[in-house]
Amino acid sequence: MSDSQTASASDLPRAWPFEEARKLADHVATRSSTGADERPALLETGYGPSGLPHIGTFGEVARTSWVRQAYTALTGRPSRLLAFSDDMDALRKVPDNVPQREMLQKYIGQPLSRVPDPFGTHESFAAHNNARLCAFLDSFGFEYEFASSTQYYTSGRFDAALRRVLEVHDQILAVILPTLGPDRRATYSPVLPLHPRTGEVMQVKMDAIDAAAGTVRWTDPATGEVFETPVTGGHAKMQWKADWAMRWYALGVDYEMSGKDLIDSVRLSGRICKILGGTPPAGLTYELFLDEQGQKISKSKGNGLSVEEWLRYAPPESLGQFMFNQPQRAKRLYFDVIPKTADDYLTHVDKARALQAENPAGNDLRANPAWFIHKGSVPEDAGSPVPFGMLLNLASVANADTPEVLWGFIRRYDSAVSPQTHPMLAELVKHAIAYYADFVRPAKTFRAPTDKERAALVDLAETLRGFEGEAADASILQNLVFEIGKRHGFEPLRSWFACLYEVLLGQTEGPRFGGFVALYGVPETIALIDAALLRDTQV
């Protein structure tokens, strides 16, 4: 890559995918320096098809896609994204969420691509989950190429690399053995032959390695029978860390990100890749998600949040926003982060639209998450004139159980707004109804105002009566609320807004109150205050 094609740190947009794209560009430049390797940059993500795709799968593919997008913008060069399924791995345990669990028990130790599909829709369990992966990725519009480990092994795609593994077998052992306990060390080999009779993936010690013939000799511990197995043609596969390294080497992977829990695996696989004669890919180590209690999310524990659950309460763009935010920082992934994340996305859309108006070329947009989420061009119908948090509060005070209730307020606020003109708002309205029903309504707890708060609320209601019959301006109303808080000596002023939320809305957080009054209506807000004060006297 020439100097004119390499961006300095100061030239890059202030967004982490561009920092990663520079690392990828440097990696590609190193392997291309001789002019002998001008193939497109290869980015890879991995998938274990023993289970269905999950929110972590979305995060890794989305983040890798954004690095790819930044790389294209940075260099103008082609790239590929390979979604690689480790479907030749052995079935280690029967998942809890599948039918015919007793049937699957008989296939423990078999490659996933040879395990029957308990759902009865595909030729194997792996094929079923691979199809679900592709459908999952397709539903989000990701651009990728699917790759099957079984197909790559059996077609001979990895044969040359597997023969190379045998040539450096002892060097690989020297890297891995010190990391293992004594029992595992005694039987470890980077090569896992498939049993010629049972088809089981065998984790046994190799009695002999024949690099010239491309075979390994091993003994079946159950029968004592000795076998000589070619490592080529799908008759064997590689052990996890060595498999990762062999794949990097065989395919020339340029970039692959992974979670913090795989730091040691990345380091060891990188060493093995170098032993094979390859260069480990560039990559990002991302932090893991935490649950409601701040504990690491575990698929087996089920203490996380699924993609389906997120999409019940917010649009997919908001999930993209969550994944975009600070990938190297641990974040809670629970239901209560959804509203703020949805509004973060809407805020970035508004900023992007303002920048597009100022600069039609759009270069400044590259630091905006919406530029990535929308693949470089923010659509005209993205965004919403009403924040998601405001819709939730409107649903709360109106006890809304259908979208029509919220649309009644929205149309009165702005008659030009409709589900047809603002499809994102229409989607948010539906999500707000669902979120309110499941989380807000069950948690609503009203408290009585203090004497000081009561006086301020009476003042607010009386002042608002002067606005009845007028077009409500959100900024004027917000300033009015501020002035009343100051007039009644609330210090800090946020304690006044806490009063409004807790006494009037029955929750600890809320919207910009002036905007809420403008949307809900001045007479309705007065009635809300009067009802809260009356409720207090009846307690």
Contact assessment for residue 513 and residue 485, using Cβ atoms and an 8 Å cutoff: no
Q: What is the CATH number of the domain that holds 148?
A: 3.40.50.620
- The last residue of one of the domains, among 289, 316, 351, is 289
Q: Give yes or no: residues 439 and 456 share one domain.
A: no
| pLDDT mean over 144-152 | 98
Check whether residue 333 and residue 433 sit in a common domain. no
If asked whether residues 40 and 135 sit together in one domain, one would say yes
User: Residue 475 belongs to a domain with what CATH number?
Assistant: 1.10.10.350
Same domain, 362 and 393: no
Could you give the CA distance from residue 153 to residue 336 in angstroms, rounded to a whole number? Answer: 44
Give the count of domains, the chain: 4
Residue 527 confidence class, pLDDT cut points 50, 70, 90? very high
Per-residue confidence at 43, pLDDT binned at 50, 70, 90? very high
Work out whether the CA dihedral 389, 393, 398, 401 comes out positive or negative: positive
Give the domain extent around 409: 388-443
With vertex at residue 455, the alpha carbon angle to CA 450 and CA 459, rounded to the nearest 5 degrees, is 145
In this structure, the answer to whether residues 114 and 261 fall within a common structural domain is yes
Q: Is residue 260 part of a domain?
A: yes
For residue 204, being part of any structural domain is answered with no
- Of 68-77, 301-310, 324-333, the poorest mean pLDDT is in 301-310
Q: What percent of the chain has pLDDT over 70?
A: 94
Provide the pLDDT for residue 4: 38
What is the pLDDT of the chain when averaged over all its residues?
92
pTM for the complete prediction? 0.90
Residue 219 covered by a domain: no
Is residue 207 helix, strand or coil?
A: strand
Q: Which two tokens stand for residue 497?
A: 């807004």
Q: Are 424 and 526 contained in the same domain?
A: no
Asked whether the bond before 230 is cis by omega within 30 degrees of 0, the reply is no
> Looking at residue 467, what is its pLDDT?
87
Q: Pick from 349, 374, 399: which residue ends a domain?
A: 374
Residue 351 is labelled as binding a ligand: no
Do 481 and 394 share a structural domain?
no
Residues 402 and 472 in one domain: no
Q: What mean pLDDT do residues 179-202 have?
A: 95
Mind listing the pLDDT tens digit for each residue in 66-123?
999 999 999 999 999 999 999 999 999 988 878 998 999 999 999 999 999 999 999 9
Spell out the long-range contacts of 214-220 with Cβ–Cβ below 8 A and sequence spacing 24 or more: 214/159, 214/162, 214/163, 214/166, 216/166, 216/189, 216/191, 218/189, 218/193, 220/195
